[in-house]
Amino acid sequence: MALSIEEKYDEVRQLITMGKEKGYLLYEEVNEMLPSEITSSDELDDIFSMFGQMGIEVVDSEQKFREAKEGEEGAELDLTPGTLDKT
């Protein structure tokens, strides 16, 4: 039985733990922590897909993560009757 990337590499497990705690990972953190043995695009795709399935976003900066979250929260529509002014 083949080991999953998560099982093969301690660094990937550490990234998952960090990502679950914060809800996101920075590309810089991923680049620094990924083992040099992971070089194929398939493995990288698998890792980023796994992060996505676990609800871990990979972003350029913490600020961009926060802005995206605020944008999602602000995108909710208030459908309460009478909240729109009729002009």
Three-state SS for 32-70 is HHCCCCCCCHHHHHHHHHHHHHCCCEEECCHHHHHHHHH
Handedness of CA 52, 54, 60, 65 (dihedral sign): positive
> Hey, where are the domains in the chain?
8-72
Which of the following CATH numbers is that of domain 8-72: 1.10.3470, 1.25.40, 3.40.1000, 1.10.220? 1.10.220
CB contact at 8 A, 27 and 60: yes
pLDDT at site 66 = 74
**62: amino acid identity, one letter:** E
pLDDT at site 86 = 57
- Each residue's pLDDT, cut to its tens digit, for the chain (87 residues) gives 667 777 788 999 999 999 999 999 999 999 999 988 888 899 899 999 999 999 999 998 877 777 777 766 655 556 666 655 555
Flag whether the pTM goes above 0.85: no
